[in-house]
Chains A and B, each alone.
Chain A
Amino acid sequence: MKIKRKTQLDSDIPTASMPDIIFMLLIFFMVTTVLREYSGLPISLPKAKRIEKLKSKRHTSHIWVSKDGLISIEDKLYASDGIRHVMYEKRVTDPQLVISLKADERAKMGLISDIHTELRKADALKLNYSSKTAID
């Protein structure tokens, strides 16, 4: 006697919700992409070997220092004693703030030292000397 299968199973993968899934992914990437970039100052970064990656772009704030001693934060120029206020405001809104110092390799240490002092006064203590990977 032949046994008849009672129910016919539908073996198709449902593709109707496929665009929804992909749109979700698309929206996720669109939202997480940070498009707000500052142009900064033209600099050539120093090279180093023991470098580490900055964990999050959202908790990073950049300070550009050119070889002529110009200091730029978010495309605004500051004198070295003006950094304190800007960075303090940022530190208050984001306690996880990491400062990425994008200084030209020809910048003078006197200025960098002033920035150190200012950052200490602003309580923005996590600093990262932005540098390129050295090959030797």
Chain B
Amino acid sequence: MSKGKRRFRGGDIPTSSMADIAFLLLIFFLVTTTIDMDKGLGMVLPAEGEEIEINKKNILNCLINSSGSVLIGGEGVEVRNLSKTVRQKLAENDKLVISVKAHKAATYRDYVAVIDQLKRANATRISIAESN
């Protein structure tokens, strides 16, 4: 007994769900893409051999010792109060260049903390002296 020929229903591939599939792929890539950008303290180093003479009274020395204590302009100061001190000094003299000098054995954490404090005091002229 034969079942009989089925009726021909048309040979189209359904394309209506294509958009949904593409959307799913798009959403997958959107979700898996990490857009977490690197964040950090920006700094521009001076070019090699570019040494400028600065008037001594426009230099504010900032020294970091191996235990993380900070000395600014000859006075010891707590790191968290540094921005306040620097802001005062900048108000007195806006040409001030802050020269940061860290001891060889000082930790990077203390150094970053100092740079951060200087940035908070809106100090734009920061110079990094060689450690020794």
Contact = CB atoms under 8 A, between A and B. Distances in A.
Interface stretch (B6-14, B54-62, B85-93, B110-118): B110-118
A29 B115 CA distance: 37
Nearest to B112: A46
Interface string B45-85: 11110000000000000001000000000000000000000
Nearest to B37: A53
Contacts of A101: 40
B29 A30 contact: yes
A57 interface: yes
B42 interface: yes
A128 B42 CA distance: 4
B110 to A, nearest CB: 8
B41 interface: yes
A78 interface: no
Contact of B103 (A47, A51, A109, A116): A109
Interface residues of A, number: 51
Contact of B22 (A19, A123, A129): A19
A22 B111 contact: no
Given A48-B113, A100-B38, A125-B45, 20 more contacts: A22-B22, A26-B29, A46-B108, A50-B41, A51-B39, A52-B39, A52-B42, A54-B40, A57-B37, A105-B107, A107-B108, A108-B104, A109-B64, A109-B105, A109-B106, A113-B104, A125-B46, A127-B43, A129-B41, A133-B39
Contacts of B64: 109
B86 to A, nearest CB: 13
A116 B23 CA distance: 47
Contacts of B105: 108-110
Nearest to A65: B108
Nearest to B39: A51
Contacts of A50: 41, 116, 119-120
A133 B26 CA distance: 31
Nearest to B43: A127
Contacts of B43: 127-129
A117 interface: yes
A19 B18 contact: yes
A72 interface: no
Contact of A112 (B25, B48, B108): B108
